[in-house]
Amino acid sequence: MQRLKKQNDYVETRIEQLKEDMAKASNPHDQQWYNRLIQELDWVKQMGEKPTYNCYMQDTDARKWFD
């Protein structure tokens, strides 16, 4: 249980870092790459629990990712 919490904390921190980097990127291809990395890390986080959605962009509050 402790290991899963550490993993989730790491994944959450990394997602936040990638969102900041994505906001700084001026190249649309770079922005897409960051978005893809965020999607994959979100999937990893879900696999530690019971999956609740297919893609973070399908989350009912998807705008939270871009605020």
Return the domain boundaries, the chain. Answer: 2-65
pTM, whole model, 2 decimals? 0.69
Q: Per-residue pLDDT tens for 16-60? A: 999 999 999 999 999 999 999 999 998 888 877 766 666 655 554
What pLDDT, on a 0 to 100 scale, did the predictor assign at position 44? 84
Question: Cβ of 27: how many Cβ atoms within 10 Å?
Answer: 8
User: Does residue 8 carry a pLDDT above 90?
Assistant: no
User: Does residue 6 carry a pLDDT above 50?
Assistant: yes
- Whole-angstrom distance, CA of residue 1 vs CA of residue 16: 23
